[in-house]
Amino acid sequence: MSEIDCFVDQPVNWLKATGPESDVVVSSRLRLARNLSAYPFLNRLAPEQRDAIIQEVREAVKNSNFLKRACFISSASLPELDRQFLQERHLVSRELYLEEGKNAVVITPDEMVSLMVIEEDHLRLQVFQSGLNLVETWRIADEIDTELEKELDFAFDGTLGYLTACPTNVGSGLRASCMLHLPSLVLTKQVHKVLQALSKLNLAVRGLYGEGTEASGNFFQFSNQITLGQPEEEIISNLEGVIRQVITHEREAREYLKKKRKSKMEDQIWRALAVLKAARMISSSEAIQLLSLVQVGIDVGVLEGQVSHTDLNQLFLLIQPAHLQKMTGKVLGATERDARRAARIREYFAKVIL
């Protein structure tokens, strides 16, 4: 039995669409980058130093009230499929998934917190919440960071702040982000104007799996880019203010679709639903795009009460390649995955009365 099998059948709490503004904001995430002062940055770490860092963090986790029930997993020893599974659940980054040296990840039972050990930095703490909930996300992250700092000597400069491998993270080491689903802005071709405006505000816009990924299924990650010389509370307040503006634009675009393009929009929604209910093979990218249109159907009232944001958020995750294979219990080729994905989607919509 794999170390991560306990997570396979468990719904992801931060995808339950229970948080504020969760019709637009899928989740809030806060990440803190930290390094241990006694060791060089990743590119100069010797194998024995990796072992020493992992052991120090293991002991610190045992003494943390927040993390003492968490799973401590040596991710380098995991099969590739398991590491891909963790990445699909956003519990590890693409960098840690691809990293070949020894590393580890600490995951709380509810999957709301993960601590990556030896990624780009020695430590990358992540905290998730459903919906637009940046303040609570920061409160939890700050509490865990304070606990860990009592046990670990973090690299810190009185002038610069926390020292990190990448200069853009120096200072607070904080990256706050929100995952937004913006199908109405995409359908009305307004999303590029919004993204251009955000770039002028020093905010980064990325895809479903963060840095290095493109937006798919109309999902966008928005995060701060400046960490130096800016208090954590100010970073969070500024990002939340911008996110609220984007929420307003998305809802206005919905109203436009309902009033000006009702027939065309409904046709797109029902066609998407028809394909999802009938397809025998479907790729991940096509499925996500069609499910995004179904979510528009919820938002504009066409499918209200028939399909839920919670179920769709979970379905977006369960049809990813590693999840399909973990739930099937074997490695699948691309064609087999497309067939299994279509079957899982048909199984879900067969229970929906439409």
Pairing state between β 123-130 and 25-34: antiparallel
| Predicted pLDDT of residue 216 | 67
pLDDT at 104: 94
Contact 142, 136 (CB under 8 A): no
Residue 272: per-residue pLDDT: 95
User: CB of 257 within 8 A of CB of 300?
Assistant: yes
Token pair, residue 234, equals: 């100010």
CA distance 258 to 302: 10
Residue 324 CA to residue 8 CA, distance in Å, equals: 10
341 contacts: CB under 8 Å, gap ≥ 6: 281, 282, 283, 284, 287, 319, 324
Tell me what pLDDT residue 103 has: 92
Q: Report the first-to-last Cα separation within the chain, whole angstroms.
A: 40
What mean pLDDT is reported for the chain? 90
DSSP state of 342: H
Low-confidence ranges of the chain (pLDDT < 70): 1, 208-216, 353-354
Token duo for residue 246: 């984007």
Task: Supply the pLDDT for residue 212.
Answer: 45
Tokens of 297: 């159907």
List of domains in the chain: 5-253 (3.30.590.10), 261-350 (no CATH)
Q: What is the C-alpha R_g of the chain? A: 21
Q: Give the rounded distance of the alpha carbon of 306 from its chain centre.
A: 26
